[in-house]
């Protein structure tokens, strides 16, 4: 079944950045309110692919993204990121893999309010390298320039509009130049004009850098502009 899925991917053969096999997720395991949210998900994401994850509210999109993002562990099934089986990793290994290979963009921006835009963009690299250096500063400035915020680098998030904050978040997700970015409704909180711009920015980065994107969205119009759509329905992939 996994092979079939691989063939259906438009970027098949370019190597997989993500592979899910029979992934299940239950909450409150062992209690009377135990509930399975994901019922055996199989899917892949090729390197450099731009995929929309769609589905009605409560279908398990965010849950799936958190599993892929190594923020939670699946109850059953296998998840491979850049060929690495994550079940074998301990907490430290997960943290390291997350820091190196994944960028996150969330619906509610989730920037650190105490830090400037520039410092927010440097944060993942600061975490990775332990202390500030000139190279990370240069890259962060370059990234902010690229998302069109060259003039707002010293501003705190509270001084930026929603669209601008989301641009900072995208720049931050790209800080360590990860092969894959996970975005949970990155435009869900923006007006349609800003949403279009943010979406266009992500596509541009995908095209120029070959960064793979897995983007959760409710917006059918934007989903239509992706390489491929994966639709979730009640915790299963609809084919």
Partner 1 sequence: MPFEWVLALRFLREGHMQTALIVAGTTVGVAVIIFISALMNGLQASLAERTLSTQSHITVRAPDEAAMPVLDRAGQAVAAHIEPRVQRLRSIDQWERVFRELPAIPHVVDVSAIATGSGFAYRGNASKSIALIGVDPQRYRRIVKIEDKIKAGAYRIGPGEAMIGIELAHDLGAAVGDRIRVLSSENRDDVFRVTGIFDLGVRDLNRRWVIMPLRSAQSLLDLPGGVTHIDLTVDDIFSAEAVAQQIAARTGLTADSWMAINTQLLTAFKNQTMTTRTVRLFLILIVALGIASVLVVSVVQKQREIGILRAIGASPRRIMKVFLIQGGIVGGAGALMGSGLAALMIYGASFALRQDDGSALISGRIDASYYLSAAAVALLTGLLAAVAPARRAARLDPVEAIRYG
Ligand X SMILES: Nc1ncnc2c1ncn2[C@@H]1O[C@H](COP(=O)(O)OP(=O)(O)OP(=O)(O)O)[C@@H](O)[C@H]1O
Burial class (CB in 10 A: 0-12, 13-18, 19+), 223: buried
The answer to whether 89 contacts ligand X (rule: CB under 6 A) is no
The answer to whether 92 contacts partner 1 (rule: CB under 8 A) is yes
The answer to whether 211 contacts partner 1 (rule: CB under 8 A) is no
CB of 18 within 8 A of CB of 180?
yes
Which listed residue (56, 58, 113, 145) binds partner 1 by CB under 8 A? 113
Dist. CA 210–CA 178, nearest whole Å:
10
The answer to whether 95 contacts partner 1 (rule: CB under 8 A) is yes
Q: Minimum CB separation from Mg ion for residue 61, in Å?
A: 5
57 binds, among Mg ion, ligand X, partner 1, none (CB under 5 to 8 A by kind): ligand X
Dist. CA 38–CA 97, nearest whole Å:
23
Dist. CA 35–CA 27, nearest whole Å:
5
Give the CA distances from residue 155 to residues 158, 167, 169, in Å, rounded to whole numbers and listed in that order.
Answer: 8, 13, 14
Q: Minimum CB separation from ligand X for residue 39, in Å?
A: 11
The answer to whether 27 contacts partner 1 (rule: CB under 8 A) is no
CB-closest chain residue to Mg ion: 62
Residues within the interface to ligand X (CB under 6 A):
27-28, 35, 37, 55, 57-63
């Amino acid at each position: 079944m996994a092979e079939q899925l691989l063939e259906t991917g438009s970027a098949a053969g370019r190597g997989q950045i993500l592979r899910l096999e029979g992934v299940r997720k239950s909450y409150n395991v062992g209690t009377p309110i135990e509930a399975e949210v994901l019922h055996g998900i199989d899917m892949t994401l090729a390197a450099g692919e731009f995929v929309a994850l769609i589905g009605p509210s409560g279908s398990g999109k965010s849950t799936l993204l958190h599993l892929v993002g190594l923020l939670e562990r699946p109850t059953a099934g296998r998840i491979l990121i850049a060929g690495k089986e994550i079940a074998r990793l301990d907490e430290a290994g997960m943290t390291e893999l997350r820091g190196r290979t994944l960028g996150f963009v969330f619906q509610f921006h989730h920037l650190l309010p105490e830090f400037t835009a520039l410092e927010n963009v440097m944060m993942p690299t600061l975490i990775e390298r332990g202390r500030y250096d000139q190279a990370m500063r240069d890259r962060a400035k370059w990234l902010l320039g690229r998302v069109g915020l060259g003039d707002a680098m010293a501003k705190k998030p509270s001084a930026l509009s929603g669209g601008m904050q989301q641009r900072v978040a995208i720049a931050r997700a790209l800080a360590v130049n990860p092969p894959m970015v996970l975005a949970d409704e990155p435009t869900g909180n923006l007006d349609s004009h800003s949403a279009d711009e943010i979406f266009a920015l992500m596509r541009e980065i995908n095209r120029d850098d070959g960064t793979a994107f897995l983007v959760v969205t409710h917006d059918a119009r934007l989903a239509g502009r992706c390489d491929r759509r994966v639709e979730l329905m009640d915790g299963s992939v609809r084919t």
